[in-house]
Chains A and B, each alone.
Chain A
C-alpha cells in the first residue's frame, strides 16, 4: 500500500472522528464516541503499518510521514484523555488537529522516497523518532489545554493546570528520552553527541522551555495563568524546531533536513 491510497484512509479516519463530534454534540460525555474515535486512530495506524511494509523502511523520514504519526498519536491521546477524564472539548481539539495533519498530507502529497541514508540506518532510528513523535503529541495536547485556559474565561484555572501537568510531565519525559537517544545515536554514527546543528539547537531550546515550566510549577504550586503562558510559548518554540528549522539558511547541510 503506498501513498496513492492514502486519501481513502484519510477520509475514512476523518469521517469516523467527525461522527464522534456529532455524538458529542447530542450527548456530551457519551462513551460510544470512543468507538468511532478509536476506530479513526486505528485506520491511520493500519495505513502506517502498510506503508512501512511497502517502503521496507520505517516511515519516519519525510515530513508527510511524521505527520502521519502525529495524527495517530494525537488522536489516540485525545481518546485516552476523553476516556479518563471525560473532557469532550479535548477530544474535539485533538481530533481537529489530527484532521488538520491528515488534510495537509492529502493536499501536499510528498514524493515517494524509498531510500534511507546510511546514517539513518541504525537501531536508534525508530526509538528516537517514535519517542519524539509521542512527546510532540503530548506537548501539542498541553498547548491545546493552555489555549483553553488562557482564552476561555470560564475555565477553572486550577483544574486546567493540573490537567496540563499530567500531560506535560509525560510529554517532557518522552522529549528528554528523544534528546538523549539522539545524542547516543549521534555518538555512534558520527563520533559526536551534539554538534549544535540548527535542528539540535532548536530541540534544546524547546526542551529548556518545558524545563522552565516544570521548575516554575514546582516553585509556584498555586496555579496561575502565567504558567499556561509558558506552555503556550514553549509549544511555539517546539513548532519552530519541528517545521521552521528547515527554512533557516544554516540548515542546508543538516542531517535533520527532511525537506523533500
Chain B
C-alpha cells in the first residue's frame, strides 16, 4: 500500500489520484452537459424498461468481472479508493442541495441551467449513482468470490445499500401517487394529472372527518410586537399548571371549555359548528385585588376574546394544536363491493396494492372540516427497498459489534 503512493499517475494499479481525476472529469462533464443542453425532461424508466436496463447492466458487470477478475482495471472498479472519491462527490453534491434551495422553477438562470436547484435530477448526480452502483457491484462480486465470516458484515451493508440504490433509482418510474380531496357530498373516482383525467382503481367517499385538539394554551402577548412571550413559566397550560406569575400579577385558570360559544355574559359548553375553546381566568394584582374574565380563541364563526392585563400585555388563548385526525371513508370497488375504512396519520390502510394515507384537511374549519385530503400510493418496489433496509440494519448491528475486532488487527 505504501509504494502505491509513490507510483506515477496512470500506471497500474490505479489508486486515489486516478479515481479522483476520472470521477471529477465525469462530474464536470455532467454539469457541462446540463449547461449546454436545452431543457431536457426528467429521466424516468418505467416497467419494463427499468428491468431490461438492470438485467443488461448486471449481466455486463458479472461478465466483465468473471473474465477480467485479475486485471488492474477490475481491481480498480472494486477499490475503496474509487469508493472514497465517489462518496466524497456524493457529499459535495448533497451539500449543494443543502445550500441551494431545491425548487422546481422554470426561470432561466445559471443556477437552474446547472441543475443546482434540482440536484437530484442533474446529470452529474445520475452519473454518480451509476458509478456507485458499478463500484458496489464489483466490490460485492469480489467478496462473494471469497466468502468467509469476516465478510458477512461487508456483504450485508453493501448489498443492502446496493439494493436500496437500485430500488430508489430504478423503481421511481413505477410509483403511482395521487392526492385526492374527498368530501361527504360526492364520490371521487377520477383525478387530474396535468391536463389529462385519470380514472382511479377505486372510488372514495368521506363518511366522517374526526379531529381532536389538545387543550388550547393560554399565553401573554406583548402589545407592541404582537408576539407571544416565550420562555419558562410564561405560558399557562390548561390542566395541571393552572397558574402563572407575571409582572407581579397572579393569573389563575378557573375553568376550561373545549367546545363552547359566548352566550350572554359567559361561555357555555355546546357542540356545534364553529364552537370554540374558552377559559375563565382570575387575575390578582400585588394588592390582592381580583378580576375575572373570559378569554377565547374564537373560530371561523366567532371572534377571539382577549383580556388586557395592563397597558402593555394581553392575555390570549393560542391556536389549539391537533392531537389526532382521521377519516372514515367508503371505498367503492369496480366489482361493485363497498367497504369502509378508517385512515389516520401514521395508520394508513392497504387496499389491493395501494396504500392510502390521511394527509390534510381544511385547516380553517379545523374539526368541522368539510373535506379530507388523502393520498394513495402504489410502489411495486417497496418490498425490494424494505429488503435492502433490512440487510443494512443487520449489517450495521454486526458493524457495531465487529468494528472493534477489525481494529485489533490493524498495524
**Chain A interface residues toward B at CB < 8 A:** 2-4, 54, 108-112, 114-119, 121-122, 162, 165-166, 168-170, 172-174, 176-177, 180, 183-184, 188-191, 193, 196, 198, 201-202, 204-205, 208-209, 211-212, 215-216, 218-223, 249-250, 260
Q: Which of A173, A193, A215 contacts B396 (CB 8 A)?
A: A173
What residues on B are CB-neighbors of A220 within 8 Å?
A: 1
Interface contacts beyond A119-B345, A191-B355, A260-B230: sample of 12 additional A-B pairs, CB < 8 Å, sorted by A: A109-B233, A112-B241, A115-B321, A118-B323, A162-B410, A169-B399, A198-B98, A208-B91, A209-B91, A212-B84, A215-B80, A221-B1
Q: B359 within 8 Å of A by Cβ?
A: yes
**A115-B214 in contact (CB<8A):** yes
What residues on B are CB-neighbors of A202 within 8 Å?
A: 98
Known: A189-B346, A212-B87. A118 touches B404 (CB 8 A): no
Nearest to A189 among chain B residues (CB) is B346
Query: Interface of chain A, helix or strand or loop or mixed?
Result: helix
What residues on B are CB-neighbors of A193 within 8 Å?
A: 385
Interface residues of B in 354-411 (CB under 8 A from A): 355, 357, 359, 375, 377, 385, 389, 392-393, 396-397, 399-400, 403-404, 407, 410-411
Q: B177 within 8 Å of A by Cβ?
A: yes
For this complex, into which size category does the number of interface residues on chain B fall?
Answer: 35 or more
**B91-A205 in contact (CB<8A):** yes
**B83-A118 in contact (CB<8A):** no
**B359-A190 in contact (CB<8A):** yes
Nearest to A172 among chain B residues (CB) is B399
Q: Which of B120, B396, B397 contacts A196 (CB 8 A)?
A: B120
What residues on A are CB-neighbors of B88 within 8 Å?
A: 212
What residues on A are CB-neighbors of B83 within 8 Å?
A: 215
**Which residue, A112, A116, A174, has most C-beta atoms of chain B within 10 A?**
A112
Interface string of B308-327 (1 = CB under 8 A from A): 00000000000001111100
**Chain B interface residues toward A at CB < 8 A:** 1-2, 80-81, 83-84, 87-88, 90-91, 94-95, 97-98, 101-102, 120, 177, 214, 230-235, 237, 240-241, 321-325, 344-346, 348, 355, 357, 359, 375, 377, 385, 389, 392-393, 396-397, 399-400, 403-404, 407, 410-411
**A165-B404 in contact (CB<8A):** yes
Nearest to A125 among chain B residues (CB) is B346
A151 to chain B, nearest CB (A): 23
Q: How far is the CA of A54 from the CA of B344 in the complex (A)?
A: 26
What residues on B are CB-neighbors of A115 within 8 Å?
A: 214, 321, 323
Q: How far is the CA of A110 from the CA of B241 in the complex (A)?
A: 15
Q: How far is the CA of A205 from the CA of B355 in the complex (A)?
A: 30
A24 to chain B, nearest CB (A): 26
A153 to chain B, nearest CB (A): 22
Q: How far is the CA of A260 from the CA of B232 in the complex (A)?
A: 11
**Which residue, A4, A114, A170, A183, has most C-beta atoms of chain B within 10 A?**
A114
**A173-B324 in contact (CB<8A):** no
Q: How far is the CA of A54 from the CA of B240 in the complex (A)?
A: 9
What are 20 A-B contacts defined by CB distance under 8 Å? A110-B232, A112-B232, A114-B237, A115-B321, A117-B321, A118-B324, A118-B325, A118-B346, A170-B400, A180-B393, A201-B94, A201-B97, A205-B94, A208-B91, A209-B91, A215-B80, A215-B84, A221-B1, A221-B410, A250-B101
**A188-B346 in contact (CB<8A):** yes
Q: How far is the CA of A112 from the CA of B228 in the complex (A)?
A: 13
Q: How far is the CA of A174 from the CA of B399 in the complex (A)?
A: 10
